[in-house]
Structure 1
Amino acid sequence: MNPTRRTFIAGTTALLGAAALPGRAAAATGPIPDGARVPVLVIGTGYGGSVAALRLAQAGVEVHLVEMGMAWDTPGSDGKIFCNTREPDYRSYWLRTRTKAPLNYFLGFPIDRDIPRYTGILDAEEFSGITVYQGRGVGGGSLVNGGMAVTPKRENFAAVLPSVDPAEMYGVYYPRANAELGVGLIDPAWFDSTACYQYARVGRKHAQRSGFPFVFVPDVYDWDYMKQEAAGTATQSALAGEILYGNNHGKKSL
């Protein structure tokens, strides 16, 4: 977690202006009244929304942020903020009575299970031939994306955003975002030796035998923390099966 940014976007809806800057008094938080007119309204507190709001506030502009979901900062009855992927409960899905995991079956057995209806952290919107997963809460997709932080391939950039200068994006903004988020890669030597990645190593071997490339995905998980998890010196999060419904430790969310 990045405390500065989390503090900045704290609250389901928040009024954030110059007071949100370092050294100033904390900004007010609370609901936006019906029919209210505000200087700037940012919808969503994911990566794009939080950065836009941050830069506007740094420029002295009063900003309101609106998010679908809650600020995930209050532990449940089990003492944890987020539930485990293997044992989903009411915190797992947004207004669903049954989970909808990206993988429905494992070894022939169904994975999905009934859950209490609640404003949980993961939304699964179904469209024709595709299900779109979204984070619901302050921090948006950063809450549920497993920490993956992949810079798009430059050769595909112009096809998606032809009016944007790719040189500036890849020379300035992507490096800046990666640095701010703390993006990193797993230590290859540790990957090759630790027990927790033994099955990934088997997958790599079979991929290479079949002529498929194998790459390490850039991530915002704290790899030093994961090494402590594997060594038994820190509370397990990723190695305990936390990913889809948030991580209680180790991952840096907005």
Structure 2
Amino acid sequence: MLKTTRRKLILGSLASLVAAGINTGHAKPAKSESTKSQSSTDSKLPTSLRVKAVVIGSGFGGSVAAYHLGRNKVETLVLERGRRWDVKEGQPGPFTTSKLPDGRALWLSETDLLVTDGPQDPINRYTGLVERYNEDGIIVWASSGVGGGSLVYNTVLLQPSKANFNKVFPSSINYDEMSREYYPRVVEMMDAGPIPDDILSSPNYLGARIFLDFAARAGLPTQRINTATNWHIVRKELQGKLEASAIAGEIWYGGNSGYKNSLDKNYLLHAQKSGHVQISPLSNVTEIKELDKGYQLSVDRLDESGTVISRHTITCDYLFMGAGSMGTTSLLVKAKHKGTLSKLNNDIGKYWGNNGDTFGSIRIGSPAGSSHGGPAHIVGLDYQDNPYGPQTVIAFPQADNTHDSLIFLGMALPDETGYWEYSDQLKRAVLHWPSPGESESLKLMDKRMHYTLNKLASQVSPESSRVAAVESVKVSGGATAHPCGGVVMDKACDTYGRVKGYKGLYVVDGALVPRGTAAANPALTIAALAERCMDNIIRNDIA
């Protein structure tokens, strides 16, 4: 449906929609980038260490936890499996690009994992940004690096509607309180705001204007998304003063201009400035064990090729799980299976979801501008008229997209549930997800997205192009970059992230969310829920 290279792409998956046209290079990360990757305030990690609190992971949940622990003078160590990616304005950026990705793109892979059949392009093995999990029934993309998902996402901080939120979350979580207190905290901390008029009207943002036009004519409500984007830097890109990054559709593998207000520039920065929080990059937690008092962690220190260079034992009184749905769930499923956290209940590993994610495209028969103009900027809210249920659609750019295609991410209220179990044969936790052909709810999810995209395609003119556009609509599931659940609230945890059966063990990331964040990108809701959790935990639990 989109331009392809010599490589065969997965049909019916995320890769076929967003990876088309990418050529993979063989370059290795520059040595200068590696040597500059660590902050002088990062922990050097002794072989054995006891600390008051440990946070595993530095994404949207872990960063919020670290920030609040630091400002309350709790001595805290953040363990992050990925490296640090420092962007300094006016200097060459540390990231690879979508047009010529190398090892910096992917987590410890020697092949381009955007494809699974046909020839695979070799790349150097490196502790890169995105790991692809090939699970039972679904492909999941998850991030690594200091800042977690904020390094690789579209900078979208979309707040779900009240009606959708209340269909997903327990009634004990008050939407009005979230909207009044916790959502605004995150937006303010990350300095987020909608795309300005002057940038929206620039040549690189043609795709956004086309989407707005089609949506208006179709009667599809839209809004400009709050994005954690430094629009001043985007202006400098447009003026040619900085490397074209956002405006060139570079999203997945970071942004070399520094346009992303990622977590290392706000929550984590303030945490370290407190003097009570240290970050240890390239520190991979392999096992968690309960002690008579507190917890013991086994940690592998990695070099940037992923080789284990030392092993460490960390003990703590308070342990905060912030490794994301995939990382947190797999660690706790393993601990339950091995008996190292023997009191974990039977809801560990259940109620996992794909956030209702689908991916879609429309060929409009004329230049669409969707290979430029990032990050994502406009959202369509098809909540009232869609007969299959509420559907959110976001247009986003993809470098090297075909000239006449618009690409969309869809998010809905997922009914389908996956589950995890530990495999002794594979020696890891495995996620199980039904195939689309076996699940009526997954078929319904595709129909919901298809209905909304048909509305947009029906606005193409002239008539001959309109017919072709409607026929070109493609919708695909089978993959997600928004994993949610696995250690969910009101089941494995309370609604403040306290893991049932344990004192001082908390989940503050996407694993806490049941299946998805109410037809919205998870980042804002995960961070806002973490803010809510930490308010309560600091007030009631931390001695």
Hey, what does 1:177 align to over in structure 2?
186
Hey, what does 1:56 align to over in structure 2?
69
Hey, what does 1:253 align to over in structure 2?
262
Quote the Cα distance in structure 1 between the aligned partners of 2:130 and 2:248. Answer: 19
The reply on whether 1:93 has 2:106 as its aligned counterpart is yes
- C-alpha spacing 1:154/1:132, structure 2 compared with 1 (3 Å): farther
Letter of the aligned partner of 1:227 in structure 2? R
Structure 1 residue 152: Cα displacement: 2.7
Structure 1 residue 121: Cα displacement: 0.9
Identity of aligned residues (%): 35
The reply on whether 1:138 has 2:152 as its aligned counterpart is no
Quote the Cα distance in structure 1 between the aligned partners of 2:75 and 2:95. Answer: 32
- C-alpha spacing 1:74/1:30, structure 2 compared with 1 (3 Å): farther
Structure 1 residue 86: Cα displacement: 1.3
The Cα offsets for residues 18-40 of structure 1, whole Å up to 9 and x where unpaired, read as xxxxxxxx866122535x44311
Hey, what does 1:148 align to over in structure 2?
156
Letter of the aligned partner of 2:75 in structure 1? E
Hey, what does 1:242 align to over in structure 2?
250
Hey, what does 2:51 align to over in structure 1?
38
The Cα offsets for residues 73-104 of structure 1, whole Å up to 9 and x where unpaired, read as 389xx943001111101100001223344xx7
Structure 1 residue 141: Cα displacement: 0.6
Conservation of the 8 A alpha-carbon contact between 1:83 and 1:242: no
Quote the Cα distance in structure 2 between the aligned partners of 1:27 and 1:187. Answer: 35
The reply on whether 1:29 has 2:38 as its aligned counterpart is no
The Cα offsets for residues 110-145 of structure 1, whole Å up to 9 and x where unpaired, read as 9x7432221111112233443222221111111101
Conservation of the 8 A alpha-carbon contact between 2:87 and 2:256: no
Structure 1 residue 216: Cα displacement: 2.4
- C-alpha spacing 1:224/1:128, structure 2 compared with 1 (3 Å): same
Quote the Cα distance in structure 1 between the aligned partners of 2:168 and 2:77. Answer: 29
Hey, what does 1:166 align to over in structure 2?
175
Structure 1 residue 211: Cα displacement: 4.4
TM-score scaled by length of structure 1: 0.75
Structure 1 residue 65: Cα displacement: 0.8
Conservation of the 8 A alpha-carbon contact between 2:60 and 2:148: yes
Hey, what does 2:232 align to over in structure 1?
224
Letter of the aligned partner of 1:56 in structure 2? L
Higher Cα radius of gyration: 2
- C-alpha spacing 1:241/1:115, structure 2 compared with 1 (3 Å): farther
User: What SS does the aligned partner of 1:42 have?
Assistant: strand
Conservation of the 8 A alpha-carbon contact between 1:93 and 1:120: yes
The Cα offsets for residues 144-193 of structure 1, whole Å up to 9 and x where unpaired, read as 012222223332323443132322211111111101100110023541x2
Q: Flag structure 2 segments of 5+ consecutive residues without an equivalent.
A: 1-36, 264-543
TM-score scaled by length of structure 2: 0.37
Aligned residues: 221
The reply on whether 1:69 has 2:82 as its aligned counterpart is yes
Letter of the aligned partner of 1:185 in structure 2? P
Quote the Cα distance in structure 2 between the aligned partners of 1:248 and 1:231. Answer: 16
- C-alpha spacing 1:74/1:189, structure 2 compared with 1 (3 Å): closer
Quote the Cα distance in structure 1 between the aligned partners of 2:207 and 2:87. Answer: 34
Structure 1 residue 219: Cα displacement: 0.8
- C-alpha spacing 1:29/1:149, structure 2 compared with 1 (3 Å): same
The Cα offsets for residues 219-249 of structure 1, whole Å up to 9 and x where unpaired, read as 1111122122122233322123421111122
